[in-house]
Amino acid sequence: MWRDEYREELLKKRETAKAGGGKKRLEKQHEKGKLSARERLDILFDSGTFVEVDGLIESRIDDFHMAEKRVPGDGVVTGYGRINGRLAFAYSEDFTVIGGTLGEYHSLKICRIMERALEMRVPLIAINDSGGARIEEGVSSLNGYSGMFLRNTRASGVIPQIAVIMGPCAGGACYSPAICDFIFMTENTSRMFITGPGVVKEVIGEDVSSFELGSAKIHMERSGVAHFVFKDDSSCLKGVRKLLSYLPINNKEKAPETGSSYIDTTDILQEIVPEEQRKVYDIRKVIDAVMDTASFLEIQEDYAANLVVGFARLEGKVLGIVANQPFVLGGALDGNASEKGARFIRFCDAFNIPILTLVDVPGFFPGTKQEHSGIIRKGAKILYAYSEATVPKVSLIMRKAYGGAYIAMNSKSMGADMVYAWPIAQIAVMGAEGAADIIYKREIENAQDREKVREEFIERYRNNFMNPYVAASRGYIDEVILPEETRKKLIDAFDMCQTKSKYSVEKKHGNIPL
């Protein structure tokens, strides 16, 4: 029999590692409304499935009293387990140990778990709660970040990568989450910024708070950095679990299917979408009426809200939804919406998720502000993303489809597999009013009753050029359908596209207009 001291030594080291920074620091963590690194993993993973790895690794730095702060684990818990019954890897930074700062061995543990996730071809979840680079370890900490960025990039498009910000995430630490597919934040405890308030004041003399620089609200509504924001740690991690239920584990697999739960409400689509082109409505109501009941999961809900994107299920199968939102800016595409859409489309394409596009767009949003902020370059991104995507792509034109924005929203010649239109759809270079004013300018000016003649020309243009039957006669629309037929037509179209084969021109990669 082995001597008892072997067992005792091992159990003691395990206890020390699990204790992290100790009881007092854990209490401070809880006082701030934050869970511990291990408590977070307990919520993220299915009960009893998490397996820790590299739990006894320690920093080797003794300078600056580091020997007194050193504990097994080095401020990050890494491992694997099951989420919704499927394998996933994760790391969770421990703010109670040296502020969760990233040093040589802290980053080594993270890089190892990233490599294992990529080798096993399963999702990686990164829980960030860190004071940034560990200044006591100098360039070694910076080198650690570079190793993480490299692995994030290698894994991009191969496995889903999800970053969860549950405390400070500053400086270079921000860029690993930025390369990930989705970023989750909590309302009161998350902060992401490249330079802190002290640096901002020193450089430009401006006093700002960390809230103004990097709160969840700022990143959801203004910067577009965040994809989901939740009230607290627990609800946030449950949100991660929900998102993963829509995603395949890697780029070779399909998203998980579920049973279909649907209450037929397609008869109210005509009530939801007004015939009058200028009247607004909430596109989410259309999505809810057509997709499986309560299956829509919206992404970046409060950013570039004129374009709605997210995942939903149709007959239990996951689709990516891209839809104009008439309720905001009339559904026009601006620069931010174009980037938001392009990013989402490329994710769906990378992970074999078919795309449904719901079209009601008056054009690209006009104005000098948009022009000067790069609408040409940003708008080209959504064009590129749709053209590049090889997954099944189906479009439904509900009302307006004008100008370049009609082309951008997955038009037939841009590679859409099927394009449907409702009878009230209008497809043209611009609205009838503007077109009549240009085409029939002379006739209107020479008329005795200008307003009456103008209305007649508007109606003539609308009847002769804008109705969906004109586009259908040219082959730009596959079929004009009634609203109540929508769900069945979409089910049939995506079912037909299941065996769609991919093809591409041989090249290293394209050059998307970033």
Q: Which residues are catalytic?
A: 171-172, 404-405
From the CB of residue 506, how many other CB atoms can be counted at a distance below 10 Å? 4
Cβ-contact 266, 396 below 8 angstroms = no
- List the one residue out of 346, 356, 330 whose CA is nearest residue 278: 330
Distances from the Cα of 461 to the Cαs of 68, 128, 431, 434, in angstroms? Answer: 81, 57, 9, 10
Question: What is the identity of the amino acid at 336?
Answer: N
| CB neighbourhood size of 267 (10 A) | 10
> Of 140, 125, 70, which is closest to residue 98 (Cα–Cα)?
70
Instruction: Tally helices (H) and strands (E) across the chain.
Output: 22, 17
DSSP-derived letter for residue 449 is: S
- Kindly give, in sequence order, each residue whose CB lies less than 8 Å from that of residue 253, ignoring residues fewer than 6 positions away: 352
**Helical pair 104-120 and 139-155, crossing angle rounded to 10 deg:** 10
CB under 8 Å to 366, separation ≥6 — which residues? none
What letter represents residue 466's amino acid?
M
Structure tokens at 372: 């000067």
- Distance CA(11)–CA(26), nearest Å, equals 21
Strands (E), 65-119: 76-83, 86-93
Which secondary structure element, helix H or strand E, spans residue 416, and what is its range?
none
d(CA 315, CA 132): 45
The three-state secondary structure class of 280 is coil
Distance CA 81, CA 86 (A): 8
Residues 6+ apart with CB under 8 A from 185: 165, 192, 216, 219, 220, 226, 228, 229, 230, 236
